[in-house]
């Protein structure tokens, strides 16, 4: 699972057009229970979303940020309980999620595009 995550991070970095990869070094010694902010790069262009339904592991209570790069403003829907509706602007913006306090799978979606961006595997 860890290896899959690492390659996901690499893939996301490769997709990111802006510099700044490397500041969020996830591959370090961090054992279980890490509460470092999980940063997920999201690119929304036209009617395509990257990532598109990938699973991302997070810990219960871990801070989560979406770094959204979009060609138009919109809204992200987080199927946590309670649900979260988070707006983003055109260009690059950082969207903070309220940490999720229960284990489970939480879908993060764009309803406008009818796409699942990521599924958070909260454990």
Interaction site with Cu ion (CB under 5 A): 77, 109
Nearest to 9 by CA among 24, 19, 20: 24
Q: Which is nearer to Cu ion, 93 or 115 (CB)?
A: 115
**Distance, first Cα to last Cα, the chain:** 13
Q: How, if at all, do strands 91-97 and 64-70 pair?
A: antiparallel
Q: Which is nearer to Cu ion, 58 or 78 (CB)?
A: 78
State the nearest-atom distance from the C-beta of 77 to Cu ion, in Å.
3
State the nearest-atom distance from the C-beta of 22 to Cu ion, in Å.
32
Contacts 24+ apart (CB under 8 A), 84-92: 92/18, 92/67, 92/68
Nearest to Cu ion by Cβ — which residue? Answer: 77
The token duo for 4 is 């899959």
State the nearest-atom distance from the C-beta of 86 to Cu ion, in Å.
11
State the nearest-atom distance from the C-beta of 47 to Cu ion, in Å.
17
Q: Which is nearer to Cu ion, 77 or 115 (CB)?
A: 77
Q: Which is nearer to Cu ion, 41 or 109 (CB)?
A: 109
Q: Is 102 exposed, middle or buried (0-12, 13-18, 19+ CB in 10 A)?
A: exposed
């Amino acid at each position: 699972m860890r290896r899959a995550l690492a390659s996901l991070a690499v893939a996301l970095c490769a997709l990111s057009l802006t510099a700044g990869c490397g500041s969020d070094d996830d591959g370090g010694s961090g054992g279980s229970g890490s509460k470092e902010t999980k940063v997920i790069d999201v690119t929304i262009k036209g009617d395509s979303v990257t990532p598109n339904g990938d699973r991302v592991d997070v810990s219960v209570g871990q801070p989560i940020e979406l770094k959204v790069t979009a060609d138009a403003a919109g809204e992200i829907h987080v199927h946590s309980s309670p649900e979260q509706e988070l707006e983003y602007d055109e260009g690059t913006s950082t969207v903070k999620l309220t940490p999720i306090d229960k284990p489970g799978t939480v879908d993060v979606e764009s309803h406008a595009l009818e796409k699942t961006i990521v599924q958070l595997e909260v454990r």
